[in-house]
């Protein structure tokens, strides 16, 4: 985990967006990963973007995951989903993600919409605590990674957790080839 100083996330709500803190407070006791294995570390908010973060905190891109919000329309209704991919890859938004949303065309959701609908900061959006009706598409490479670093809902911290935990989130679906090499 590089030079990050981590501690159990549920003990530091000041380092989490409110929806993330709420999701951790309701973490199921029978989840495959104990809530205390979800860690958080404070970071410099100016270094939250993946490349800058990895360089500053000595975290490999191969253990850094990104969560992107995608959207598409079907019958006049906008459908949203989150795609979780490793930083060494890019989400296949108009292929795999589009088909999962069952829309004709998918794209990254506008920043203002993503921020408003998630209750999280742009650049810190995480799959933990997303709206319950949104599917969470997790690339199979993410769940195959023993530990990953991902956003915390805010730019001034990061969450570290076992990769398999992301595939076990409510609404999550592990998808082969959701991402392509960057």
The predicted-structure confidence for 14-40, as pLDDT tens digits, reads as follows 999 999 999 999 998 888 899 999 999
Query: How many whole angstroms separate alpha carbon 130 and alpha carbon 82?
Result: 8
Task: State how many domains the chain has.
Answer: 1
Residue 31 maps to a domain: yes
2 located within any domain: no
pLDDT on residue 148? 97
Does residue 141 lie in a domain region? yes
What's the residue count for the chain? 182
pLDDT of residue 1: 82
Q: Are strands 172-175 and 136-139 parallel, antiparallel or unpaired?
A: parallel
Residue 87 lies in a domain: yes
pLDDT for 32: 87
The CATH number covering residue 68 comes to 3.90.960.10
**Is residue 168 in a domain?**
yes
**pLDDT number for residue 147:** 96
Residue 156 in tokens? 């001034």
pLDDT digits over 38-54, tens only? 999 999 999 999 999 99
Burial class (CB in 10 A: 0-12, 13-18, 19+), 117: middle
Q: Count Cβ neighbours within 10 Å for each residue of 63-83 and write b for 16 or more, e otherwise.
A: bbbbbbbbbbeeeeeebbbbb
Residue range(s) defining the domain that contains residue 113: 7-181
Q: Beta strand pairing status for 39-42 and 7-8?
A: antiparallel
Q: In terms of Cα–Cα distance, which of 79, 64, 95 is closest to 180?
A: 95
Six-digit token pair at 173?
């679906």
- Residue 127: CA atoms inside 13 Å, Cβ hemisphere, count? 35
The β-bridge partners of 66 are: 85
pLDDT of residue 182: 84
The Cα 82–Cα 53 span in angstroms is 21
Which residues in the chain show pLDDT less than 70? Answer: none
């Amino acid at each position: 985990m590089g030079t990050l100083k981590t501690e159990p996330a549920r003990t530091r709500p000041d380092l989490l967006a409110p929806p993330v803190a709420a999701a951790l407070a309701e973490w199921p006791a029978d989840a495959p990963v104990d809530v205390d294995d979800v860690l958080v570390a404070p970071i410099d908010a100016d270094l939250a973007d993946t490349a800058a973060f990895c360089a500053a905190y000595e975290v490999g891109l191969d253990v850094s995951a990104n969560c992107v919000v995608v959207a598409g329309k079907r019958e006049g209704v906008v459908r949203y989903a989150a795609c979780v991919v490793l930083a060494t890859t890019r989400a296949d938004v108009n292929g795999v993600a589009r088909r999962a949303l069952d829309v004709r065309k998918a794209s990254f959701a506008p920043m203002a919409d993503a921020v408003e609908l998630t209750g999280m900061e742009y650049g810190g959006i995480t799959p933990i605590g997303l709206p319950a009706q949104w599917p969470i598409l997790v690339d199979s490479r993410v769940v195959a990674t023993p530990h990953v670093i991902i956003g915390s809902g805010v730019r001034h911290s990061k969450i570290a957790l076992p990769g398999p935990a992301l595939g076990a989130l409510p609404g999550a679906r592990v998808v082969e080839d959701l991402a392509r090499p960057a």
